[in-house]
Structure 1
Amino acid sequence: MDMSDLPVPCTPREISQLVQRDRVHGSIYTSQAIFEMEMRHIFHRTWLCVGHASEIPEPGAYRTTRLGTQSVIMARGSDGEVRVLMNRCRHRGVALTETETGCVRRFTCPYHGWVYDTTGELKLVPDADAYGRGFDLSAYGLTPAPRVAQYRGFVFASLSPEGESLDEHLGPAKAYMDLFLDVSPLGEIDARAGVTKTSFRANWKFVGMDGYHPNYVHKTVYDLRRRRKPVGSAKGESFSDESANLTRDLGKGHVMLDVYPVRKANYASYLQSMSGRPGWDAYYAAMVQAWGQERADEILVWAGDPHIGVFPNLQLIGSQIRLIRPVAADVTEVLMFPTVLKGVPDAINESRLRAHEAFYGPASQGSPDDAEIFERNQIGLSAVVDPWVLLARGLDREKVDVDGSIVGTITDETTQRGQLKQWKLLMEQAA
């Protein structure tokens, strides 16, 4: 079969043919029909990160968000438990709240006044007698997401009542999530510092985990940094074929840009440059006391930045929790929550926030470049005379590491192949 003539498919099994060993068909980024299948077979079946429990620290606190295309409320109930509830009144299906965040005693439907406790329990129906003597309020509480689980404060939910456990889903990604958290001497973060939002007319699968692009898309930024201070080690700069840094496919679609090697080579000079800066010495001492010298140094080499993508919608980059919201085949929203560390001097957290603003803010050096290139990518894919997208970089030099992950150089497309391998698997299973 001439794959270049393959029509836009209509079944998950046909869709899986569009992901080849070294290339993918452009329609997986442009077809609205494929997007809708992604929502049904991936976003409405697997585990999705909803947010972090620190966003809702007290009873009644909530954040509205989406699981795939479905609106939900992540709320801390009056009993202190974190729940994920469908944002839908059990009467006529009206969204209970359109406010993104807040703290309430009750959720009240604006249409007919049905009142729910923050646990989801239905508490009051105006003129309930009209529904008959058999009407039972306890049967009409807010519908919870079928499955909800947490990993160290990260709240996940699944719209499918069956499937692998969250522990199975995360697998080796947990070790890198730990690095993001343990950069605090208390092992805890707070995600209430605000949120940076961006929306662009491009597909959700473009977002993040590409070590090939920084020297080109962010050339101005890196040129400025090179003038101020040499970057990298004797093996090359952080994002080049000569770099010791790696790409990793951890399995299950979880991938990362492993920048540990270059940071490790430069760790001594990093410590020297940080010594004496506001808050640093007290922070370093607290880390050593909390974790021991060896573990503290390992965590600080990573600097709390595992640069990992947890399939399909969570990324931990720099100091931020990044959530990906697909809206349509050519529309994506990205929410970036900068986090602060518990148990550290204020100066350390101020530095984290300023660094986030500098590269990821709306008027920053980095994120606007990414949004622009994603939209150009989407425009280019509208040309379908030759619809295939090449993802072969580094394919023949990949290796399997001792931990079982597949590794390539930092510029290899190991990460894209790893994500799409899981995409293909989930689409095939749905057939």
Structure 2
Amino acid sequence: MDSGNLAWYLTATALVLVMTPGVAFFYGGLVRAKSVVSMMMLSFGAMGLVGVLWICYGFNLQNVSTGWIGVAGNPFTNFALADSISAPDANDQLAGVAYGATFAIITVALISGAIADRAKFGAWMLFAALFATVDYFLVAGWVWGADGWIYNLGTTLGLSANVIDYAGGTAVHINAGAAALALSLVLGKRVGFGRSIHRPHNVPLVLIGAALLWFGWFGFNGGAAALGAGIADPSSPAGLIIINTLGATAAAILGWLVAEKAKTGKVTSVGAASGAVAGLVAITPSCANLAPGWAIVLGLVAGAVCALAVELKWRLGFDDSLDVVGVHLVGGLIGTLYLGFFATGTGLFVGGNADQLLVQAIAAVSVLVYSFAVAWVIGWVIQKTMGFRIRSEDELAGVDTVVHGESGYEFPEEGVSTGPVAVQVPVAAEPEPEKILS
């Protein structure tokens, strides 16, 4: 890898890493004031734990060429990158490990939005470690590994097209969305579950988070363009990726706002931010394989459909606190299946046949089912043993002070605090001296 491509690869790594704090801000603004610290800590906990596990063995586990071919790599090969640091292409290898780590981190962090306001931090960390190991590290190898079974699905089935997932429609968003649905069912509904509970406590924080996500997503979608011939090669999709990431996201904002206006009669800033995220999710798998016009159409569709999909939890009665299912699972499915119709040269409506749609559907359903099953089993075992959900009285008091001993907002001079309310203990008045003598 030449210096220009390496520089872009490292820059993209930093861009994707900042997306997880973006998720923390986005989710943190959406929850109650008494849960903002807890919500953001779930993302930062994932950054610490998953980052370490990826370096130790996760990168090796997703390298499906070294172990059980097509399914799992050998986690003990090159443990903690002991061999990579002395390899002739050490810079390239280590940059690739760092870039991959940021994807593993954000995939796990995204799941946390489904269990806002009611999860124990220690239980979440155990879940994050097990889910990353048994699910994400494997699925990443299936989707992006040269020997991964999803990567080669079309060839295996004798079809004319293989699965397209340039940056993570299946591996990241369908994966996280399905896991979020499973955990929301395991932990159950929040106390007082209903539409009134879903009021963001800090809208500016939500918008800051969405802005950081959109900023980082250019690295998320475009970082891998540094590989192969590189970003300067005339055949590189780098320019197409960037314009599609911009266009689809912008269109999704419009699609969400139109649907929101039709649904409620108002357009909201949280709706605009959520629409942007829905567009980013949808364009992720298809950013290098759509003409810009079709990317705009995808954004419009994803924004509108996700705006309607977030209503499913009220209709079906599952408490996905921050709409991970409605945005990431639904948006990921839309973006992945859309390629079956409009992928350049292979989509059903743009010169291809039904093969592209078939392999996209098989990949999407396979990852959805696997992720749901893994998350449900891990979450159920944790809940039945150490307990995953906090007590109802602690939920009402506020997760921040109960779990972390902190509060998100302190303005003592104004008498404002999201911490515990001081209890006034009545003290009996001492008798006057003369009454004692008498």
Identify the TM-score tier after normalising by the shorter chain.
under 0.3
In terms of fraction of residues, the more helix-rich structure is 2
From the two aligned structures, give the one with the greater strand fraction: 1
Q: TM-score, normalised by structure 2?
A: 0.26
